[in-house]
Amino acid sequence: MPIPGRGRRYLKRLERIRPHLSPLIYFITICTIKRQPLLMQEGIAGAVIGTLTEVAGSRGWMVGRFVVMPDHVHFFCSPHTEDADLTDFIRDFKSLSTVNAWKLGLKGKLWQRQFFDHLLRSDESYGAKWEYVRFNPVRRGLCASPEEWKYQGEISPL
């Protein structure tokens, strides 16, 4: 499975450690263009969540927990099929979510070109990483507790 921005040496190393990582869980961050708070425009956060669900299924990925912030989205995902490709999944998500945002009145680009991906290692806890991520809206002063933030949830258990 290609890893964006990584050289061949990294891919060979990933192939050696992959059998020891089960299941593979990636932590993904995608930022809006110029970190503008575009995701809080009317209906866009909901469209992003719906698009994430749709594209994950069509590209062979399962999306676990997610948080949509005003200027970025965090989510955890895991390949569901042998041929699932992370780069294709993210590309299709960004493309379709942009088209869906245009239908809601957004003009221009929605996402930055790059994205951040981190493969959780066996010594990292999905639950612990989620606890940190779900408090992002609280740290930004958008709500008093994570439960109050309506743009978070879980699409599929990982």
Q: Is residue 141 part of a domain?
A: yes
Average pLDDT value over all residues in the chain = 89
Q: Hey, CA dihedral for 4, 6, 9, 14, is it positive or negative?
A: negative
Total domains present in the chain? 1
- Mean predicted confidence (pLDDT) in 62-72: 98
Predicted confidence at residue 20, as pLDDT, reads 52
pLDDT tens column, 70-101: 999 999 999 999 889 999 999 999 999 999 99
Residues 6+ apart with CB under 8 A from 1: 14, 79, 84, 85, 86
Query: 53 pLDDT exceeds 80?
Result: yes
pLDDT tens column, 11-52: 444 444 454 556 899 999 999 999 999 999 999 999 999 999
Q: Is residue 2 part of a domain?
A: no
CA angle 74, 78, 82 (to 5 degrees): 145
CATH number at residue 136: 3.30.70.1290
Q: Is residue 59 part of a domain?
A: yes
- Mean predicted confidence (pLDDT) in 54-83: 96
CA–CA separation, 58 and 18 (whole Å): 23
The greatest distance separating any two alpha carbons of the chain, rounded to the nearest whole angstrom, comes to 46
Query: 134 pLDDT exceeds 80?
Result: yes
The residue range of the domain holding 28 is: 8-154
The model's pTM: 0.86
In the chain, the percentage of residues whose pLDDT exceeds 90 is 80
